[in-house]
Structure 1
Amino acid sequence: MPQIEMRNVSKTYGAVKVIHGVSMAIEKGEFTVFVGPSGCGKSTLLRMIAGLEEITGGDLLIGDARMNDREPSERGVAMVFQSYALYPHMTVAENMSFSLRMAKAPKAEIEEKINRAAGILQLTTLLDRKPAALSGGQRQRVAIGRAIVRNPDVFLFDEPLSNLDAELRVQTRVEIAKLHQTLGNTIVYVTHDQTEAMTLADRIVVLRAGLVEQIGTPVDLYEDPDNEFVAGFIGSPRMNFFEGKVGANAISFGGIELPLPDLKALPPAGSHIRIGIRPEHLDEAQGIELPATADVIEQLGSTAYVHARLATEETVVAEKRRTQMKPGETLRLTFDPANARYFSADGQRIR
């Protein structure tokens, strides 16, 4: 039985529908990430699980119980917010124990749970400090600790790293991954950052405009995207897309001819399609050469990203293992056609 199940869940604000019949199942102990651009509905879905947003249509189940009309406190979930939401006049220990004190839990139980959470999150030496004396990463750990002491069945994270600088984001992301390994609770995590999604998730739910575009493991979404949106959203740098035209024996794009792939759904000659190639696949030892002119080279030590122009003036990004290339130089980008992906004019993957 899934830990969380959504059955045709929808949400409207007046006449505006923002979630369009979402259905999914999240297994017990799974780390599921909702990802998508701003305004896609991922935080709204999370808040419906938490009970902070009413469900307009469909059913939400946690365990085997329908939760549509249950209060947040009755759902067995704990939420960690983007803004930390700590009480500035309380110490770390007081912030973490607030919900337990409101529930009039025994003092010994409160102390035990605080010490356990503080040990997991490396906050033991900070329990007497107030939020103003903490770094952003430490404040976020306190917010997580406040959720841990409630011993929830499900943790809900709403973009918890967006207020941290780049170094702290990486550090805290690792801490959240370790937390999941230690506790084993079900986690539902919202982010617009596909790198967070790829590194943390057991499964990713890709959302766009209130609809689920695809659900799968990070590797599945990266290697086998259902459509052009998923292919472009998952991966950094994003996949390169080129305009192609189907001929009698080849597909022309980027100033070259690509032999017709063996695809059952390939459109007839004269049709336009889109070809997708990831930056790292443009540095193959053998394959088809795609001539280009370098514009900008981003050196990253062991690798470099080369931003270039094709003969058709389309832009392309290639990942090179090492390069001494200069802007304006001609380069030949070599790729294996087996690594290309093909999409119809409406953005759907051609199988």
Structure 2
Amino acid sequence: MIDLRHVSKRFGGHTVIDGVDLSVEEGEFVVFVGPSGCGKSTLLRMIAGLEEISSGDVWIGGERMTDAEPYDRGVAMVFQSYALYPHMTVAENMGFALRIQGLGAAERRRMVEAAARKLHLDHLLDRKPAALSGGQRQRVAIGRAIVRDPKVFLFDEPLSNLDAELRVQMRIEIARLHQTLANTMVYVTHDQTEAMTLADRIVVLRGGRIEQVGRPTDLYDDPDNLFVAGFIGSPRMNFLPGVAAGPDSVRVAGLEVRVPGLSSRLAPGQEVQVGLRPEHLTATEGVEVPLAIEVVEQLGAMAYVHGSLAPDVPVVAEWRSGRPRVGERVPLRFDPRDLRLFDREGRRIR
């Protein structure tokens, strides 16, 4: 278990991590996501002991590790760069930390071979990094962490140097590895698709603070604020300006729509942002709005159509019936239950 207790990090007068409180359960896979510069890698390095903590405490496995050296924390880190020794074989790279610890050659070989089997590297142990593909090199870097038998695995954007196909393959490998080892894993990425597919829970960061923590489906279906709603999901949620027309209705895109299930009462004339995901704009029945198609992104079995419902209000809709064409005017339909409302400060109205 990892406990971050009001952890902060300052560089001079600039605060990059601002009073973060977070608990990661034993065996959990937690992913940090957020835009560049939000502090996700810094927070990971603070857990690893590679970055000094300005204030607060880090606890790992029930022990206070705030001032402990990295090698005493029981963690292993996999970096964006493979950082393999080019003159060493795969087996030598994976077993290097064990050699430093003073383990004998036979014991090292046994532990390296066990880790290699988990990662399907056992036939590559005598090769050097130059003879490996990018995905194989990344698996060696992960294997180097596995042989240490750590309590916690920390991943800092490990797939960002790989091409699209390899990223998908390695995502599956890492998910299988977590199922096999059942270790606690903390993973940093800017790719919310990786976060959605890998995580037990996602931590969304912005400006050194946590915006929301939850299961991937919870963040997708029930975001706490405008930032999380726009960050989680690809393509992002559509946001349309609206005005409250009554205690539970809004005027949006020239229509008055009642929003069922609201526990808060809207003030007439209150400005709101109305969120609607692209897949919710092609309902078979519901409120209908016309869209003039300006751009089509054809993806084979489906397409994304882009247009505007009002000047300077772009909209993206998922399209799964037929082949839409640029210039075509099509009816979009949505169920009012799929609307998400946000106030002027970006807070969710529930």
Is the TM value for this pair above 0.5? yes
Deviation string for 1:191-246 (max 9, x for gaps)?
A: 00000000000000000000000000001101111001111111111100000011
Distance 2:70 2:58 in 1: 13
Distance 2:333 2:263 in 1: 26
For structure 1, which runs of at least 5 residues remain unmatched after alignment? none
Q: Which residue of 1 aligns with 2:307?
A: 308
How much does 1:128 deviate? 1.1
Contact map agreement 1:201 1:217 (CA 8 A) in 2 = yes
Q: Which residue of 1 aligns with 2:112?
A: 114
Query: Residue type of the partner of 2:256?
Result: E
Deviation string for 1:141-173 (max 9, x for gaps)?
A: 000000000000000000000000000000011
Q: Which residue of 2 aligns with 1:257?
A: 256
Correspondence for 1:26 among 21, 24, 27: 24
Alignment of structure 1 residues 1-351 onto 2, 5 Å: 3-248=1-246, 250-259=249-258, 261-351=260-350
3-state SS, counterpart of residue 273 of structure 1: strand
3-state SS, counterpart of residue 126 of structure 1: coil
How much does 1:63 deviate? 1.1
Query: Residue type of the partner of 1:78?
Result: A
Distance 1:21 1:105 in 2: 41
3-state SS, counterpart of residue 307 of structure 2: strand
How much does 1:320 deviate? 1.3
Number of paired residues?
Answer: 349
3-state SS, counterpart of residue 150 of structure 1: coil
3-state SS, counterpart of residue 267 of structure 1: coil
Distance 2:24 2:270 in 1: 40
TM-score calculated relative to the size of structure 1:
0.97
How much does 1:258 deviate? 1.4
Distance 2:318 2:208 in 1: 33
How much does 1:103 deviate? 0.6
Distance 1:12 1:322 in 2: 52
For structure 2, which runs of at least 5 residues remain unmatched after alignment? none
CA RMSD of aligned residues (A): 1.1
TM-score calculated relative to the size of structure 2:
0.97
Deviation string for 1:92-130 (max 9, x for gaps)?
A: 111000000011112221111110111111111111111
Distance 2:261 2:52 in 1: 48
Query: Residue type of the partner of 2:305?
Result: V
Contact map agreement 1:255 1:312 (CA 8 A) in 2 = no
Query: Residue type of the partner of 1:96?
Result: M
Contact map agreement 1:254 1:312 (CA 8 A) in 2 = no
Query: Residue type of the partner of 1:108?
Result: A
Aligned-residue sequence identity (percent) comes to: 63
Contact map agreement 2:90 2:125 (CA 8 A) in 1 = yes
Distance 1:225 1:290 in 2: 25
Distance 2:15 2:27 in 1: 31
Contact map agreement 2:246 2:266 (CA 8 A) in 1 = no
How much does 1:261 deviate? 4.4
Distance 1:129 1:262 in 2: 61
3-state SS, counterpart of residue 37 of structure 2: coil
Contact map agreement 1:255 1:310 (CA 8 A) in 2 = no
How much does 1:322 deviate? 2.4
Query: Which moves more between the two structures, 307-316 or 25-34?
Result: 307-316
Distance 1:252 1:267 in 2: 12
